[in-house]
Structures are given as C-alpha cells and as structure tokens.
Chains A and B, each alone.
Chain A
Amino acid sequence: MKKLAGKLVIVIFLAVMVAFTLYPVVYTLLGSVKSNLELQTGGSFFPGEWKFGNYAEAFEKAQFMKYTWNSVILSALTMIFSLITSSMAGYVVARHDFTGKKLLLAAYLSVMFIALGPITLYPQYMLMEALGLTGNLLGLALVLTGGQASNIFLVMGFIKSVPKELDESAVMEGASYFRIYATVILPLIRPILGVIALFSFRLAWNDYITSLVFSIPNQDMKPLTVAVVGLRYSANAAAELHIMTAGASIAIIPILIVYMFANRQFIGGLTAGAVKG
C-alpha cells in the first residue's frame, strides 16, 4: 500500500514536470496556426480555425525567409569554424609539448570559470569593425566561434584515448604533421566532432544578444532570433501576434527536429563537457 502511494507521488511529479516543460512549446506551435484575434483574446488551447497561412504571411510579409536563411548561414559558418579551429588546436595541445602550453590551458580554463557576460561585446565589436567584418555574417560567426573554450578540452580529452602508435606509424610513412591530423586523427575523433558540431550550431542558431549588436549597422543580416524578438518592439506588434508565434515556431522547429534525431549526442556531449571535463 505504502509502495503504491509512493509510486503515485512519483507519477504525479513526473506528469507535472512534463506538462511544465511541454506547455510553452505546444502553446507556441499551436499558437502559430491560430488567428490573430484568437491569440489576442486568449481563446481555447486548440485553434478554433487552423490558419496555416500565418507561415506564408511570416515568410513573405515579415521577410522571415531571409532571416531564416541568415540563421542557416550563420549557424553553418559557426559550426565549420568551431570544428576546424578546435580540432586543430586540440590535436596540437594533446600531442605536443611546447613552451607556454600550461599557461595557455590555464587561460582557456579560467575564462570558462569567469562570468564575462556581455561585457566583452563592445570591444569585440570594435575589433571586428577595425577588421572590416561588421555588418556581415562572417564577423558574427567568428565572434560566436571564439567564445567556446570548452571545445578544445573536448577534443583534447578524446584524442588522449586514441593510441599514439597510430600517429607514430604515420610518421614512419613520412606523413607531415598536418597530414596525420587530417587523415589519421580526424576520422577517429568523429564522435566528438559531432558533439561540437551540434553544440556550436545550437549556440549560433539560438544566440540573441551578440547577433542583435552585430546587426545594428546592417538590418539585412539579422538572424531569425533577432527578427522574432524584434516583433515585440515594433510599432504594430500587438496587431501581429500571429506572425510573432509563427516566427517563434520557425525558430524552434528546425532545432527540435535536429534534437529528435540527435538527443543522445546532445545529452552525452553535455556530460562529457561539464562533469567529467
């Protein structure tokens, strides 16, 4: 009897947590096909009339096609930069001793444990401006790549589990250092590269503040998140809640689909990066 009551408590607890987690997401997805009037008056949970035209309106009238494309490019660039820079650097640090290595690792580690928040944004912006990289997605992608010190530790940790004999036999064959990295190491560390790809894509796709600042001089490079949130501040925001919810759905649906296929990697990567690292 007592055991049954305990089970019941657990089931109720889990049900409440799942409802709490899912409600805002389902609300957004269902809201994206409600009429504007229904959203404003806060009608029922399910749409009275399913208006899929909201998406067409968001894509055309609110230019969400362009912003979605910006987000895709931005996330892809950030992902590629993160993969290249962290895998090369991680390989060098894992396999080679050089002066200043300890200092370098300490510096990487310490910035992970200092709350820098948004205070680096202004100097970062000035630096990119000096390089002529503001107002385009390339500069923004570089900034989003630069902020991820944890990736180098993920790569390092993984390479340490790859036997050194593999490198050594490649040396015997006369391969250059870069060649060993490209042909021996890269294929072997694919799982951790997958994790870095997912995480850097997610970071860029979801970023709001950095993207907001970097798109000040060029509104045409706004990614999706900036455009969606921007609707809240626009003059006719209250009149266009249906576009806002449709926009929010366009921002979350792709990443939800990626997540459905890769949730093991997401969860595995998180634990590898944080608790063990």
Chain B
Amino acid sequence: MKPSVGKLFPKRQLYAMLAPNLLLFIGLTVYPIIWSLRYMLYDYDGIHPAGFIGLDNFIRLFTRDPIYWDSLINTLKYACGKLSLIIPLSFLIAMVLNIRFKGSAVLQAIIFSPTIMSSAVMALMFYLLFNVYNGDINRYLLAAGIIQEPINWLGSSLAMVSVVIVAVWGGIGNYMVYFLAGLQTIPKDIYESAEIDGVTYWQRLFKITIPMLGPVLRVILMLAILAAFQDIQSIMVMTEGGPLGKTQVVFLYLYQLFFPVSTSSPIKPEIGYGAAASVVTGLILGGITVIYLWISKKLDNIY
C-alpha cells in the first residue's frame, strides 16, 4: 500500500487544518457534556455561587419531581404518535411516487417543502389555524358538519394530537425522501421476475419490498426516534407545554430549568438541577436507542 498523501507533509499543517472544526466540536459538544457532569452535583442558579450538594439533585429527581417523569412519558407518547403516523404515510407516498409519472417530481418537491421552513414560524401559523373560535380548522369542520361546536385544540387533552399533527406536517417530506432512496436500492429485475411468475401486488409488497427495505427501515426508524425526542421548537411556540403540562416534553422541561423565560415556568433558573436531569435524560434516551438497535438487529436476522 502506498503511503497516504498526508504522510509527506509536516503534521503541523494537518493539525492546523483540522483545528477549526475540532475546536468547535470540543468547545460546543464535548465541553458541554463534561460541564453537565460537573454541575449535576451542584446547587446552582446561575446567579449565586454554586454549592456542592453531592447527589441531592438526583434524589430530588427520583423522589420529588413528578413533572419530570410526566414529561418523559409525554415524550414517549409524542414519539409514538408521531412515528405511527409519519412512517406509514411517508412510506405510502414514497411507494406511489417511486413510480415515475408526469408530475411526480413536482409532488415530491411539494411534499418535501415543509422541511425547509422554520418549525417555530410555522408552529406560530398553526397556532392561528388551531384557534378555537376563528381558526380555519374548526371553521371547516363546523361547515362540513363533522363537529357541532368548536374544538379547543390546544387547550384540552387534544393538545397532544394537535402538536403531533404539526410534527407530521413538518417531517413527512424527510422520511419520504429516505424511503425513496431506499426503494431505489432494490434491484428492478427482482420485480420483473416476480411479475413473470404471476406474483400479486400485495405479495410483492410484503415478500419483496418490505423485507428488502429492512436495513434502510432500521436506519430511518432510528433517525425518526432521535428526531422525535428532540422536537421542541414547535411545541414551545404552540403550547409552551400546556395545558397543565399535557404537552410538556422532556427537553422542553429541561430547557425551562436552564432558561425560565417563558410565561409558564418558574422564575428562578435551576441550572445544577437541570444538569442532573439532563444527564439522566441522556442516559434514558440513550438506553432506549440501544434497546431499539438491539431489537431491530434481531428482527433483521429473522429475514
């Protein structure tokens, strides 16, 4: 093997070129993690000097903070709701658009378009659409006779449904593209020989397409789970976690511990406690990810 080109040059030059990216990575990703690991042991509000309190933050989290655990459950509800709609829908769209026809490229571009807009700004617009008395959604439902009186979309237990609808709107284009890329990796001649053998459409779907998509599907689901955990911009704008914490997801709660700027959260920042809760959340969500990878690996082996 020939030595790589880089070997011919002084290391200093290479490190200098790597440095900008590396420094940003260390400062903005590695350092914050280490920072959280330190401050999780402190009582710190960002104003007064931090005081070491050992594991007190963790005791509080595990014994006296039902809001945290509710927000974690809400996150799982939100993720399940979002994934159970967005994955089948985007798969169906991809299946249809994978057949090239006049206008399929335009449809693809349209359905992808929500993903390029600010989720916060669009959530603001959905906030208007979901309005009880003069929002368009209630207006159409009333006019069509589907409902008899206006629904309080963001102010009742339906709030979770509303934020999930917005999440589906904003994310469907992403997964459509992933599925389209996956579908393109399946060799065409498999379908051709299946067709000659007289295999029906549904048999082809369940015996060829879905199994062949297996590895891609595994990655797509992984990305979808991670994205669902981290979506807070639109929820923050539409409901701020309300009503009564019904849409309070875990990262929004953590955010409010660090930056209690919104109207519904406590006045004093609780940074030490937030760091502890962040570390626990990171471990829990990391655990879910690992379990998912383990289970999906087993599923992969079945095929």
Contact = CB atoms under 8 A, between A and B. Distances in A.
B28 A119 contact: no
Interface stretch (B14-22, B56-64, B191-199): B14-22
Contacts of A146: 24-25, 27-29
B255 A209 contact: yes
Contact of B258 (A89, A121, A233, A276): A121
Does more than half of chain B's interface fall in helix, strand or loop, or is it mixed? Answer: helix
B246 interface: no
A206 interface: yes
A208 B22 CA distance: 25
A228 B120 CA distance: 9
Given A85-B20, A119-B36, A208 B181 contact: no
A267 B136 contact: no
A121 B255 contact: yes
A219 interface: no
Nearest to A170: B5
Given A18-B110, A21-B111, A127-B27, A88 B18 contact: yes
Contact of A167 (B5, B139, B216): B5
B62 to A, nearest CB: 18
Contact of B254 (A117, A127, A233, A252): A117
Nearest to A275: B181
A184 to B, nearest CB: 10
Interface string B154-170: 00000000000000010
Nearest to A111: B29
**Interface size range of chain A in the complex:** 35 or more
B301 to A, nearest CB: 21
A132 to B, nearest CB: 14
A96 B5 contact: yes
A263 B107 CA distance: 12
Contacts of B11: 98
Interface string B221-239: 0110010011011001100
A35 B227 CA distance: 37
Contact of B113 (A123, A127, A168, A256): A256
Contact of B29 (A20, A85, A120, A122): A120
Interface stretch (A46-54, A58-66, A188-196, A240-248): A240-248
B230 A115 contact: yes
B169 A259 contact: no
B21 A115 contact: no
A42 B135 contact: yes
Interface centre among B7, B125, B274 (most CB of A within 10 A): B125
A232 B14 CA distance: 49
A246 B27 CA distance: 38
A214 B233 CA distance: 15
A12 to B, nearest CB: 11
Nearest to B138: A42
Interface string B204-219: 0000000000001001
B21 A206 contact: no
B76 interface: no
Interface in A72-87: 84-86
B14 A177 contact: yes
Contacts of B136: 23, 27, 42
A92 interface: yes
Given A85-B20, A124-B28, A225-B120, A275 B182 contact: yes
B9 interface: yes
Contact of A206 (B18, B117, B134): B117
A100 B235 CA distance: 40
20 contacts: A13-B92, A18-B107, A24-B169, A28-B122, A42-B131, A42-B139, A92-B6, A98-B6, A107-B30, A115-B289, A118-B258, A119-B32, A119-B251, A123-B32, A176-B13, A208-B233, A208-B237, A241-B128, A251-B121, A256-B113
Given A120-B29, A177-B17, A275-B216, 11 more contacts: A18-B111, A25-B114, A92-B18, A108-B25, A122-B274, A147-B28, A177-B14, A180-B5, A228-B120, A248-B121, A256-B113
Nearest 9 pairs of A and B residues by beta carbon: A96-B6, A42-B134, A146-B28, A208-B120, A89-B21, A146-B24, A120-B32, A206-B118, A123-B32
Interface of B: 2, 4-9, 11, 13-14, 17-18, 20-22, 24-25, 27-33, 35-36, 89, 92-93, 96, 107-114, 116-122, 124-129, 131, 133-136, 139, 169, 172-174, 177-178, 180-182, 216, 219-220, 222-223, 226, 229-230, 232-233, 236-237, 251, 254-255, 258-259, 261, 263, 271, 274-275, 278, 281-282, 285-286, 289
